[in-house]
């Protein structure tokens, strides 16, 4: 770790900065979970009644605690599981009247992927009042959260360790005849406690069978499809309205690598309120850039990753081993180790050392 930037502010002032909240959150996610010692934050009196109105007891087992966030499917709540000694979990709520239900798709994926360590575990699926509910592992910060915490850039080692694990998750998904279709840093979450070093793949609402799960017959090649997924990361084939297959998940990852290394993508500056026109312009920029331009100042292994993704045919099985080997080769060439020590661990360690010593906080300016 190098090029640290000293903040010329007293420690007391620094503790009031929002950065501290992120550090505390990361620190807590690195510790083993002891549910007996977890204390839920006191609720402000002004918000108490509103929150109590939303507390639900589901299947005489799960008790909701507070709202964590929302997504295209609905809302996510923190809850405790009485059948597992009040284990903290996450529960997704989806309105039964939604036009495009996703939780039933997630349930299907969770059931067939239960053996993968890179996929969260599902505890319950059912109906509660006017909602479909799905209870699952409570996870930690997303890769997007951690990218912001680390100053919008990751070291090459951290990128390789993240993508290598996501590749394993995607390979397992593909081996079960599924494609994800919405890979992005927001959908890569680290675990908590003893699983805080493992990246988990989430949000399977857009998953689709690319082949019949029993006969392995590949779905037909189609054109004129609407864009499914996140335009920022989706493949050029998807932009052109082609039916997605395994190759599209791989190409998505190649763009995510650039994003994690540089903190941005060349087409992120497009501003247009019309989504269709914005996506068309985004596609134009993606197509116009050569691999050399896309991966300028980045290791050649990353460029090879992208080039390989663009050579895959519609029905071709990606060589996941080759792609993982590119990442491992880069780690070795950097004389690093795949030790699950990520950039945020180094920042947290630095913070704690200075906090214990009563010195001004040192924040990392960049990681080389």
Q: Pick the catalytic residue: 81, 137, 145, 182? A: 182
270 with 305, same domain: the answer is yes
Alpha helix ranges (H) inside 141-212: 143-149, 156-175
pLDDT digits (tens, 9 = 90+) for 133-178: 999 999 999 999 999 999 999 999 999 999 999 999 999 999 999 9
Q: How far is CA 248 from CA 29, 62, 181, in A?
A: 32, 38, 7
17 with 38, same domain: the answer is no
Tell me if residue 81 is catalytic: no
Domain containing 319 equals: 143-333
The predicted structure's pLDDT at residue 186: 97
pLDDT digits (tens, 9 = 90+) for 34-87: 554 444 444 343 443 343 346 889 999 999 999 998 877 789 999 999 999 999
* Residue 225, annotated as binding a ligand: no
Q: Specify the length of the chain in residues.
A: 368
Are residues 218 and 196 in contact, defined by beta-carbon separation less than 8 angstroms?
no
User: Is position 338 within any domain?
Assistant: no
319 with 349, same domain: the answer is no
127 with 152, same domain: the answer is no
Single pTM value for the model: 0.85
10 with 117, same domain: the answer is no
């Amino acid at each position: 770790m190098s090029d640290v930037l000293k903040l010329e502010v007293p420690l007391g002032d620094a503790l009031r900065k929002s950065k501290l909240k992120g550090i505390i959150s990361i620190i807590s996610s690195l510790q083993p979970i002891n549910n007996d010692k977890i204390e839920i934050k006191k609720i402000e009196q002004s918000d108490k009644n509103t929150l109590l109105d939303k507390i639900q007891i589901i299947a005489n087992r799960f008790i909701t605690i507070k709202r964590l966030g929302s997504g295209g499917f609905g809302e996510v709540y923190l809850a405790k599981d009485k059948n597992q000694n009040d284990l903290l979990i996450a529960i997704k709520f989806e309105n039964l009247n939604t036009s495009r239900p996703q939780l039933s798709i997630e349930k299907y994926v969770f059931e067939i992927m239960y053996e993968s360590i890179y996929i969260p575990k599902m505890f319950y699926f059912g109906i509660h009042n006017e909602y479909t509910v799905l209870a699952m592992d409570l996870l930690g910060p997303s890769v997007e959260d951690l990218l912001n915490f680390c100053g919008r850039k990751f070291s090459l080692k951290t990128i390789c360790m993240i993508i290598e694990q996501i590749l394993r998750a995607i390979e397992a998904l593909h081996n079960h005849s599924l494609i994800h279709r919405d890979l992005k840093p927001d959908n890569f979450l680290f675990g908590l406690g003893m699983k805080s070093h493992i990246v988990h793949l989430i949000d399977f609402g857009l998953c689709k069978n690319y082949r019949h799960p029993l006969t392995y017959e590949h779905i037909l090649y189609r054109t004129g499809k609407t864009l499914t997924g996140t335009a920022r990361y989706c493949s050029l084939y998807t932009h052109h309205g082609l039916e997605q297959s395994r190759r599209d998940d791989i190409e998505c990852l190649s763009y995510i690598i650039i994003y994690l290394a540089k903190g941005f993508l060349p087409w992120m500056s497009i501003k247009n309120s019309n989504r269709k026109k914005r996506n068309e312009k985004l596609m134009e920029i993606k197509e116009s850039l050569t691999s050399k331009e896309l991966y300028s100042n980045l290791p050649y292994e990353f460029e090879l990753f992208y080039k390989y993704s663009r050579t895959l045919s519609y029905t071709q099985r990606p060589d996941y081993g080759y792609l993982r080997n590119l990442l491992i080769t880069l780690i070795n060439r950097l004389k690093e180790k795949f030790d699950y020590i990520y950039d945020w661990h180094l920042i947290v360690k630095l913070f704690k050392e200075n906090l214990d010593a009563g010195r001004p906080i040192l924040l990392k300016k960049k990681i080389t």
